[in-house]
């Protein structure tokens, strides 16, 4: 989906994280709404390049003593940041409630704060 030159993209890792909770909670209507949203906007599959970048981010966070998740977790935040970075778009902004972790790697903000001029 593109509005006034703004791309709205659902990264596959985000779909996974939202969908798994909807499934766990048996929220059928929520799953249907998620599927409808994915039909309206651009969908960004996870690529090898994104996963390799996520591994770099994961390692950097630990080397700096600032991990974003436990050592045994897949760390969806790093995959999300990597997916955004692999778009090769200079003005990418991730809409998130987890600004602290993500903004260390890519621009991130609360969705309420993101404007078309951002």
- pLDDT tens track for 50-101: 999 999 999 999 999 988 888 777 889 999 999 999 998 888 999 998 898 8
Q: How many CB atoms lie within 10 A of CB 77?
A: 26
User: Regarding beta strands 94-95 and 9-11, do their DSSP bridges make them parallel or antiparallel, or are they unpaired?
Assistant: unpaired
Q: Which residues fall within 8 angstroms of residue 16, CB to CB, at 6 or more apart?
A: 76
| pLDDT of 112 above 70 | yes
SS3 3: strand
Write down the pTM of the prediction: 0.85
Question: Domain spanning 9-113: which superfamily?
Answer: 5'-nuclease (3.40.50.1010)
Query: Which tokens go with 31?
Result: 């799953």
Please tell me which residue, 6 or 57, carries the higher pLDDT value: 57
What are the residue boundaries of the structural domains of the chain, listed by start? 9-113
Q: How many CB atoms lie within 10 A of CB 55?
A: 14
């Amino acid at each position: 989906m593109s509005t006034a030159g703004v791309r709205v993209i659902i990264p596959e890792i985000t779909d996974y994280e939202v969908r798994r909770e909807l499934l766990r909670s048996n929220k059928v209507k929520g799953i249907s709404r998620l599927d409808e949203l994915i039909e309206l906007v651009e969908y960004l599959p996870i690529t090898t390049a994104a996963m390799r970048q996520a591994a770099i981010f994961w390692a950097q966070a630990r080397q700096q003593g600032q991990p974003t998740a436990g050592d045994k977790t897949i760390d969806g935040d790093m995959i999300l940041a990597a997916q955004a970075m692999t778009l090769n778009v200079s003005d990418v902004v991730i809409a998130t409630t987890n600004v602290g972790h993500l903004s260390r790697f890519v621009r991130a903000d609360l969705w309420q704060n993101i404007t078309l001029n951002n």
